[in-house]
Amino acid sequence: MAIQELWKNKLRTFLSLFGITIGIFCIIGVLATVNSLEHNIQNEIKSLGNNTIYVDKWDYSAGGGPDYPWWKYVKRPSPKFEEIKEIKERTPSAKYVAFNLSSSDNIQYEGNTLSGVHIYGSSEEFKDVQPIDIAYGRYITDAEFDLGSSVIVVGNEVAEKLFGAPDRAVGKNVFAKNKRMQVVGVIKKQGKSMIGGWDFDVSIILCYKFARNVMDERRSDPVIIVQGKEDLSSKALKDDLAGTMRAIHKLSPTQEDDYALNDINDFSDAISQAFVSINIGGWAIATLSLIVGMFGVANIMFVTVRERTSQIGLKKAIGAKSRIILTEFLLESAFLCIIGGLIGLTLVFVLTKILSVVFHFPIFVSTNNMFLAIGICIFVGILAGFIPARQAANMDPVVAIRSK
C-alpha cells in the first residue's frame, strides 16, 4: 500500500526523495572523502616503516616547542654510520638497523639530464625496514653493499623520463656528480605521496659506501632507522634506544638528550586525532542538508494523512487498530527515505569513481558507510513520519469518515 501511494503521487514523491537524496549524498560523500583521505595518509605513514624509530638530531613532531630553540638542534651531532653496530649490540629489541643519506641532484644519461632526483645512500638492511618492490631487474645484493659497488636501482618515473620506458633501464649507465653508476633494477611504481615520504618514483638508491663519493655526508640528512621485533611495541623499542643512544653519546645522567627518537606510530596517532575533528565538522555540515530533507518528508506525510483521512476512518471503523495505522505511515515514511538514500548512495558511488580516475586519488565508499546510510534513512524516516502517523492513528473513525 505504501508503494502504491508513492507511485500514484510521482511528483510529490520525487520532491520528497530529492531532499533525502541530497542529505545522504552530502553525509556519505563527506565521510567517504574524509575516510579515504585518512586511509591513504595512514598507509603512507605505515610505508615509512612498521614499528619503526627514526634516530635523528631533529625532532619531527614540532621542533621541541618554543622553549627549545632551533639552534640547539643544529648543534646536535648527526647520526653516524659507525653507530649502527653499537645499536645492534646494545639494543636487544631491535630487529633491523639501517643507515641512510639523502640529497637531491641531477642525473644524466646520453645527453639527457633529469633534475630534482632524490638520491638515497643506504646500508644493507634498508630494504628490510622499508620493503621495496622491484618491477624490473633486481635489488642491490649484500656483496655489492659490502664492496660499495657503483650499482643503483631507480624509480619508475626516473626510468620513464631517462630511458623512455622502465623495462629499458636495466643495464644502462647513468652519471651523477661525474660518477658512473649502472642500473640493476627499477622500483615498482608507487604513485604520488600526500605526505612526502620516500617518493621512490623519482628516486635512485645506491650503496652507502659508494654514496659517500657522490654526496657530502655531513649535508645529506643522515638518519638511522631502527625496526623493532614483532612481539615488542614501538614504545619498548624507544625506551631501549634511549638508553643505547645515551651510552653511545656518553651522556651523563644530568645531561639532556642530544638526539631525537621519532616514532612512526606517534605520527599515525596524531593523524587519527586530527581526523576526529575533521569528521565532526563534516557531520555538522552534512547534517544540515539531511534536516532540510527530513522536514520535507514530514511535510509530505502531513499532506498524505490529510488526503487519506476518510480512508483512515474507514479502516478504523472495520477493526484496524491504532498501531496498524501508525505502522502503515511509519513504513511509508521510512520506505520513502530508504529509496532517497539508495539514490544518494548511487550518486556518491558514481562520483567517487569519476574523481578517483580524474585526480588519481583512490576514493571509496566503505561497507560501514553504506550500512550507516541505510540506518540514517530508517531513523530519519521514522522521526519525520512519527507525528503525522501518530495524528492518523489517534483519529476518531466517525469524524474521519465524515471529513472530505
Could you read off the pLDDT of 181-230 as tens digits, one per residue?
999 999 998 876 655 577 888 999 999 999 988 888 878 889 999 988 88
DSSP characters over 209-225: HHHTTTS-GGGS--EEE
Residue 99 has what pLDDT?
93
Strands, DSSP E only, in 35-93? 52-56
Q: Is residue 56 part of a domain?
A: no
HSE value, Cβ hemisphere, 13 Å, CA-based, for 354: 6
**Does 221 lie in the same domain as 93?**
yes
Q: Among 338, 329, 339, which residue's Cα sits nearest to residue 392?
A: 329
> 176 lies in a domain?
yes
Q: Does residue 190 form part of some domain? A: yes
Q: Which residues pair with 96 in a beta bridge?
A: 227
Phi, psi of 107 (to 5 degrees): -120, 135
Rounded Cα distance, 61 and 266, in Å = 9
Identify the pLDDT of residue 48: 66
Q: Which domain holds residue 368?
A: 2-44+269-402
pLDDT given at position 151: 94
Q: State the Cα–Cα distance between residues 49 and 221, nearest whole angstrom.
A: 18
- Residue range 284-342, pLDDT digits in tens: 777 777 787 788 788 888 888 887 788 888 888 888 888 888 888 888 888 888 888 88
Whether residues 224 and 279 fall in one domain: no
pLDDT score recorded for residue 223 = 92
**Whether residue 296 sits in one domain with residue 174:** no
pTM: 0.68
| Cβ atoms of residues 156 and 202 within 8 Å | no
Q: Which residues of the chain have pLDDT under 70?
A: 1-3, 5-6, 45-50, 62-69, 192-196, 404
87 with 26, same domain?
no
Let me know whether 301 and 394 are in one domain. Answer: yes
Q: Is residue 243 domain-resident?
A: no
Long-range contacts of 166-169 (CB under 8 A, 24+ apart): 166/135, 166/136, 167/136, 169/136, 169/137
323 within domain boundaries: yes
CA–CA separation, 214 and 123 (whole Å): 15
Total structural domains within the chain: 2
100 with 225, same domain? yes
Q: Are residues 180 and 274 in the same domain?
A: no
pLDDT (0 to 100) of residue 276: 79
- 92, 226: one domain: yes
The pLDDT of residue 193: 63
Q: Residue 210: its pLDDT value, please?
A: 92
